[in-house]
Amino acid sequence: MVKKSLIAIALLALLATTVQAGDSAANPRKFDDHWPWTYTALEICQIPVYMDVGWFVQFIDCSKKEIILKQVTCDSIASPEPAKDFPCYYGCVKFKIFSNFEIKLGTVLYKDPVGIIDQWSAEFDNDIVPGDGNQYERQVCIKAWKAKIWKAAPGDKVLVGEVAITVKPNA
């Protein structure tokens, strides 16, 4: 019994030492308005972020470009048989292009169904565009020979065909 009484007294003494301190003023609990410390964010992990980036090519203002062929001597365009290839025509257009991969330019020629142009070819001043995302200026020129000009009405801008610019990876 004495042992139990001593344990009870010890417990009471322990509880008495854990009582919260307070002001004896109007508010028995004490709070400070501004604490003298701040939270600091700590970097604990870095996670890499990846993205699936597709192949990108852009031709600037394609719909505003046009090539107007002007009559030239067949010798000046190096047609296959200058004496027999008359009349010959030549014209060029410059364009701007950029991409995120190295490309090789090409062409596909589409003749007008009337058949004014008999023979023609297209060539670039430089058919490679680096894939660094910078804008580059290129030029495509059309050479035409053995034109059948009698199949069209006279005019300054008679549609005789279209040139399509193609791109593919330069591998």
First to last CA, the chain: 98
CATH of the domain at 119: 2.60.40
Question: What pLDDT is attached to residue 153?
Answer: 86
Count of domains observed in the chain: 1
Question: What pLDDT is attached to residue 155?
Answer: 84
Q: Pairing between strand 136-145 and 119-124?
A: antiparallel
Residue 116 located in a structural domain: yes
- The parent domain of residue 148 ranges over 58-169
Question: What pLDDT is attached to residue 156?
Answer: 82
| pLDDT, tens only, 52-80 | 999 999 999 988 999 999 999 999 998 88
Query: What number of CA atoms fall less than 13 Å from residue 112's CA on the CB side?
Result: 13
Residues 104 and 121: their CA atoms lie apart, in Å, by: 17
Question: What pLDDT is attached to residue 25?
Answer: 56
Share the mean pLDDT of the chain: 86
Residue 39 located in a structural domain: no
Helices and strands: H and E segment counts in the chain: 1, 8
Q: Which residues of the chain fall below pLDDT 50?
A: none
Residue pointed to by tokens 């020979």: 145
Whether pTM > 0.85 for this model: the answer is: no
Residues 140 and 74: their CA atoms lie apart, in Å, by: 19
